[in-house]
Amino acid sequence: MLRNVLLAVCLVLVAIGGGAWLAGSTALVPLFAWGSLVLVALLFERWRYRPETSVEARADEQGWQATGERFIDPDSGRLLQVYFHAKTGERRYQDVASGATDSDRP
């Protein structure tokens, strides 16, 4: 939601600054520059930090081992199983009842 608002604001700044620049006024060029800079940063962030694709996720599933640790998540009240990836050292938390992973947890 916030990302969409920032994209809209940047597009408005680029349009106003670019229109003023094309009309011959240089007073609003900073609007164009800042709007363009933030717009490029927002688009780069979406491209660079995208979620794993399904092929990468399936390839990464190999090597996960159950640690035997289980605990009840204080936020959701779900029983979670802890898995460990020996190659990367990453830990993953999976809901025991549904099998859904909770990889956003620390």
Instruction: Classify residue 68: in a domain, yes or no.
Output: yes
Instruction: Classify residue 106: in a domain, yes or no.
Output: no
The range of the structural domain enclosing residue 86 comes to 58-95
Instruction: Classify residue 101: in a domain, yes or no.
Output: no
pLDDT tens readout for residues 62-79: 788 888 899 999 988 899
What percent of the chain lies above the pLDDT cut of 70? 78
Query: Is it the case that residue 92 has pLDDT exceeding 50?
Result: yes
Reported as a pLDDT band with limits 50, 70 and 90, residue 9 is: very high
Instruction: Classify residue 78: in a domain, yes or no.
Output: yes
Tokens of 34: 């800042």
Residue 64 has what pLDDT?
83
With tokens 């204080």, the residue in question is 74
Could you tell me if 37 and 65 lie in one domain?
Answer: no
Instruction: Classify residue 79: in a domain, yes or no.
Output: yes
Strands 79-85 and 91-95: antiparallel
Instruction: Classify residue 105: in a domain, yes or no.
Output: no
Between these two residues, 76 and 99, which has the higher pLDDT value?
Answer: 76
Could you tell me if 43 and 70 lie in one domain?
Answer: no
Provide the domain count of the chain.
2
